[in-house]
Structure formats: C-alpha cells, structure tokens
Amino acid sequence: MATTGKQLFTTLDADGTLTVAIEDVTFPDPTGNQVLVKMEAAPINPSDLAILVGAADLENASYTPGKFVATVPEPFNAGSKARHGLKLPAGNEGAGTVIAAGDSDAAKALVGQRVSCVPGNAYSQYCIADASMCLALGDHTAEDGASAFVNPMTALGFVETARADRQDAMLHTVGASNLGQMLTRICKEDGIGLVNIVRKTSQADLLAGLGSTHVVNSSEDGFMQQLCSAIEDTGAFYGFDPIGGGHAVDTAFKAMEQVAVSKMTEYSRYGSNQPKRMFIYGRLDTGPTILTPSYGFGWTLSGWLLFPFLQSAGRETVDRMRKRVRDNLTTTFASPYKTRVNLDEMLTKEAVTDYRGMKTGEKYLVTPWS
Amino acid sequence: MATTGKQLFTTLDADGTLTVAIEDVTFPDPTGNQVLVKMEAAPINPSDLAILVGAADLENASYTPGKFVATVPEPFNAGSKARHGLKLPAGNEGAGTVIAAGDSDAAKALVGQRVSCVPGNAYSQYCIADASMCLALGDHTAEDGASAFVNPMTALGFVETARADRQDAMLHTVGASNLGQMLTRICKEDGIGLVNIVRKTSQADLLAGLGSTHVVNSSEDGFMQQLCSAIEDTGAFYGFDPIGGGHAVDTAFKAMEQVAVSKMTEYSRYGSNQPKRMFIYGRLDTGPTILTPSYGFGWTLSGWLLFPFLQSAGRETVDRMRKRVRDNLTTTFASPYKTRVNLDEMLTKEAVTDYRGMKTGEKYLVTPWS
C-alpha cells in the first residue's frame, strides 16, 4: 500500500532564504508501534511558528499557490545555522483517523478510531504517529481533539512542576492566552493560587469570567502595586513566562522581591531570602531577556519545555495528565479557533501575516482536506 | 568595662547623599556566644563595596579627614531605597585578638587568641563577633587570617554546589581574581575540571603558573572557539560568574550550547537537551544581565550567595570547609594585598577611587590601629 498526499515543508538556506511549500509525498507503511493517521485538523500554535516562519520578512516575500519564499534577516538567520539546508516538516499536533497500524497491539487497537496525535509533521494529509502518544477521541470531532496535547499538557505540566517544588501558587505573564485560560481553569479546579497578567481590559474581563481571582493589567496605572498585592495575596513567588524577551520576567522578580522585602524587619544589602523562581517556556518576544540587578541573589530562572518535562515526569504522571485532558476535552481544555485553512490557504500572505501575529483568541486550524 | 574605639559607618539619604565617616563608638560587653575582638586587619572585598561606596560619584565627592560625602546617581539611589536613612556598618570579615567573651564555653575558650571573624562591621577598631564563626589562627598573623572567610568559603562553596549537582567540571568567568586563583588551586587539588576565562595575557600567565589547564582569554581572536574547545575538553556545562551585568553568562551558555549541538545527530528547533547551569554570585557590572535566545530552553541561571549556601549546607559541611581553610591558610587560600590603610586613610579620594576599581591583584587591607 503506497499512501500519497500533500505535506508542508520549511527550508532555510544559508543565505537566509526561507522556502515554505506544499509537496506531494509518499508515506511509508507504519511499523511496530506506529500508526498512519489521515489528518483532519491541526492547530497553528506559537510553538509551531519558529520553524514555520520564524523572523522571516513576510511583507516582501513572494507568494505563489502552495508556497512562499521569504528572507530571514540577521541575526536570526545566523542563529538558525543548525537548520540551514534541512527540509523540515512542521506542525506538532493534530487529530485524524487511524487508517493503518504497525504490528504492536497498541497500534492495531487504534485502527479505525479518531485520535489526537503528536507527529511533528501535522501540516500534512497523512502522518506517521507513535501509538503511545495517541489519544483515542471517541465521539469527539477532530476539531475537539486537534489541540489536545501541546497546550493542555503544558498547562498541566506547570501545575506538576510547581507541586514538585512544593508551591501552591503561581504567576503567569500571559494570562489570557489559550494556554492561560486552560491554566486558569486548572488552578481553579485544583485550588492553586494564580496571578494572571494581561495587557487589555477585555482580557481581564475574559479571565474574570472564568473565575480568575487575581488578574493584573499591565496597561493600567498602578500595575506594579497591583501585581505586588496579588503576589502577596496568593504567595506566588513562582511563575511561567512565554514572552522570553524584554522585561516580563524582570518585572515578576521585582514585584516578588518588593513583597518579600516589605516583610523584612532588618535591612540586608543582599535583598530578601525569599526564593523566587521563574520559567521561560516560549519566545513570543525574540529579543534578549533583560534581568536588572533589583532582586538580590535569591532567584532562579530556567527554560521550560514540554517534551523534556514529560520525559522526566515518567509514564504514570503523563498517563494521569492525558486522562484528565481526554475527560475534559470540551470544557477545561477547549480550544476555540478563529479560522480554518487548508494547506494551500495557510501559505497565503494574508494568512501567514495574520497567524504570525499570535493575537489572543485568534488561533488558526489547518484542515488539510478542505 | 566600656570599650571605645573608631568605627566606619555608611549612610545613604533619600536624596542620594552618601556619607561615609569614621565615628567614635562604645562597644557593648559580649554576651552568650559572643566575643569582643580587637581588630588588626580587614580586607576590602568586592562584596563590601556595594554598601561602602556603591555607584557613588567619587570624582565630585567632598573629602575631609575620616569622612567623604558623595552623591549616588539614579537609578542606583532609588534601587537602594531599602537602606535610605539607615546608618550601616561595613566590612564583612577580618582578623584580630579576642579580648573578652560571653558566658559560653566556646566563647571563653577564644579569649587571648588571634582569630579570623565575620562581624559585618570589620572596618572598626573593635568588633562583637559570633564565636561559632571565629577561626582560631594559632601562630598565623592577622594579615594571614584577615581574608579567611569570604573568598575561601565561596570558592569551596562552588565546589560543594557543583558536587551536589553531580558535576565534575565548572567554568569561572573571572579566572584571575583572588577568588579565581583559590578556585584554581582547589580544583587542581580535587581533580575537578576548570575553565578559567580571563581578559589579559598576564592573567592567563598567572593562572597557567598555578597549573590551570584551560585558560581562555576573551581579548584574543578566536576566543569563542577556544572557549568551546575548553568546555568540550572538560565537560563544564556548569559555572559561576561574579560580573552579573552584560553578556558574561550569555557567552558561557552560548559556548556550552555550541558544544552540545555539535554532538547532536539530528536537528531540533528547541536546541540541545544538554542541561546548562550558571550562577551569578556578584555584580562587578551593575548593568542588566542580557540573555539572548541562542541556547534553547535547557538552561538555568540562579543567583548564588555565600550565607544562604552555608545555611543550607549544614554544620558538618561548613566545619569541614573551615578546617580546610585553616590548614591551608598561607598556601591554597593565601590572599596578597596591594596596600595597607588605616580607617582614615581608607576614606581619602585616592584610596576610595583605587579600591573601587577592583583590579586583579590590587586588594586593600584595612589595619585600624596603624
């Protein structure tokens, strides 16, 4: 059986030329624990964008049906040296129907079922996926299950990470994102304190509507004071940031330290002893992270990524997390979409420019057969 | 018994006026586990400078015998808000002779002995010190023992920290400092790999003379390549940085990641899985720390301070470290001094300007009775 279909590839050449194009591909038969999935829906997540478009100049790119060619400016091109010349697939996750399986019992059991999967080449009409990473969707639609992995498991991963560090509260610097909304629901369900930072009144209203008790708007006067007050209320000296560049982490550390210092009875030139911990899990801002010397030495900042976390968490924890996602797919973990595009449509100037903007509540869904 | 003597105080007012002056003080009788030490020598360490002079404008300060008054510019003055109006002592450590003791056996046993101590007001003719933090110096001079705590325990603390994280190699961004030289000797004695970064050929020569096998000069062409090669040789994906501001940590992370990526067989948009860890333990550069998005998400950066480390390390470890310092005071842990000044002399324009420069090998020693 030779299965052929369309798949997206992204190639960055050494001179900074980025070519993203749909090609016809022959998919191999699945072996062992693999399944072959006819893909029905795949989201465009912020974590997909780095490899899909990165810092490319989309305004001056050339667009033809099923293809665009753009230039990636320096220093971003040199920073991507490791991928120069490689033709890479894209799309972390999606959902579709299993049409063939390898020899393993787990793989064979999925044939004919609709599943959520994490193939890494989800912008494609077919994917080879690992059965152990598939989630059988039952009666759910492909759209219900398309985003069942990256954001749900990341949000649950934050809670697992915080609990492992014996924290019962956390701060999130982009509260109103799709992931932020899931985190808000999870923390509410689990009784974990959560400080949500947003940029707009509409985002604050949205989170308040989800029951978030500590929403702080960075565009308002008195933001810093409100942030300190929310940290003091919740005890959130621990947080997660998808922005990466600029002062997002710095602001969080500053506020945490101000709260800690306000409780000190004696001056210390070294700042408070309150441990402060932040994780950067994304790069919405690709500029450098700026850390000012304003919070002593009692702080730790780490990168955080889903796959290394899952590896270290172990099978039992991961299975428990996945069960929770499946049981609450259209409630706690629901993902709304702004637009549906097929593989050709996702490479038009209008579409690429729009989804690269990563605006809150404007996620794209790729439906490769539409 | 009323003991009186001279002591240095540093006061920062809300308007940014910094007054550093010698005053006559009456010292209380020691109680409990305290001892009264007649101080003979105290070093001016980088860690003392923040509170002593900070970012004050020394060029336009007013100098009178035993006093200077300077202005601390913004944003440094506002950043020191917590100390506004407080008259603070200075001088972490020093050595002298115990002339009185509280009731405890440990305190009484030290009477008449020369000790190294950590009183926090070491720029003084007398100090009250905690007997449990005193190190009896036997036949050593006060100059031998004046710097027996901060740098030796910090360098040993790095080794303890690395070992607790199961590391057998580390990187140090200011290799030729007094602390860096101690670290070089310790790592050599303990068989720990060490990558020393220096800025000058003379510093590279100095460290080579101490037996350092991996010295990399940041002023030379090919620095980055040499740094990568040293990291690859030693496996130092772990390091300590006293600079804080600028790109020192960023450069270390970049080089570590380059080494890790060069060993990868498959491209990953997320960078390598090699954990990379750095600690900032000082602020030689008070500018912001700049972290570029050049090394994926597998990194952690923390502040590191001696006193919180010692608290978490526990008594047994600390005692073992202190014994090693005492047994090797004039070899592994020797501190040379450029100049000796008394309390008045340390507040002259010439002296303050010179020691604030923190040049390698130009440490000042305060001898309050000279």
B261-296 pLDDT, tens digit each:
999 988 888 889 899 999 999 999 989 999 999 899
Average pLDDT over residues B37-46: 97
Q: Which residues of chain A have pLDDT under 70?
A: 1
Chain A interface includes B281 (CB < 8 A): yes
Cis ω before B75 (30° cut-off from 0): yes
User: How far is the C-alpha of A38 from the C-alpha of A126, rounded, in Å?
Assistant: 5
Nearest CA of chain B to the CA of A252: how many Å? 15
Q: Point out the residue among B267, B291, B298 whose CB comes nearest to the CB of A308.
A: B298
Q: How far apart are the first and last CA of chain A?
A: 24
- pLDDT value of position B1: 62
**B291 contacts in chain A (CB < 8 Å):** 288-289, 291
**A308 contacts in chain B (CB < 8 Å):** 273, 297-298
CB–CB of B286 and A293 under 8 A? yes
Task: Provide long-range contacts, Cβ within 8 A and 24+ apart, for A308-312.
Answer: A308/B273, A308/B297, A308/B298, A309/A157, A309/A160, A309/A161, A310/A153, A310/A157
Question: Is residue B252 scored above 80 in pLDDT?
Answer: yes
Please state, rounded to an integer, the average pLDDT across all residues of chain A.
95
Question: Is residue B209 scored above 80 in pLDDT?
Answer: yes
Q: What is the pLDDT of residues B12-29, one digit of tens each?
A: 999 999 999 999 999 999
- pLDDT value of position A1: 62
Mutation site, B158, B276, B297, B301, interface A, largest A CB count within 10 A? B297
CB–CB of B281 and A297 under 8 A? yes
CB–CB of B297 and A280 under 8 A? yes
CB–CB of B305 and A290 under 8 A? no
Chain B interface includes A307 (CB < 8 A): yes
Question: Is residue B6 scored above 90 in pLDDT?
Answer: yes
DSSP 3-state assignment of B261?
Answer: helix
Interface of A with B in 255-274 (CB under 8 A): 261, 267, 269-270, 273
Nearest one of A231, A236, A213 to A165, comparing CA atoms = A236
Q: Point out the residue among A86, A267, A298 whose CB comes nearest to the CB of B86.
A: A267
Chain B interface includes A82 (CB < 8 A): yes
Q: How many CA atoms lie within 13 A of B296 on its CB side?
A: 24
Q: What is the pLDDT of residues A162-221, one digit of tens each?
A: 999 999 999 999 999 999 999 999 999 999 999 999 999 999 999 999 999 999 999 999
- pLDDT value of position A286: 86
Q: Point out the residue among A288, A292, A293 whose CB comes nearest to the CB of B291.
A: A288
- As a whole-number percent, the residues of chain B with pLDDT over 90 amount to 90
**A86 contacts in chain B (CB < 8 Å):** 267
CA geometry: angle B33, B35, B41, nearest 5 deg: 140
**A289 contacts in chain B (CB < 8 Å):** 290-293
Q: What is the pLDDT of residues B65-108, one digit of tens each?
A: 999 999 999 888 988 888 999 999 999 999 999 999 999 999 99
- pLDDT value of position A87: 96
Q: HEC profile for B273-294?
A: CCCEEEEECCCCEEEEEEECCC
**B158 contacts in chain A (CB < 8 Å):** none
> What pTM did the predictor assign?
0.93
Residue B361's Cβ-count burial label (10 Å; 0-12, 13-18, 19+) is middle
Chain A interface includes B161 (CB < 8 A): no
Q: Point out the residue among B261, B287, B293 whose CB comes nearest to the CB of A245.
A: B293
User: How far is the C-alpha of A98 from the C-alpha of A192, rounded, in Å?
Assistant: 38
Strands B276-280 and B238-241, by their bridges, are: parallel
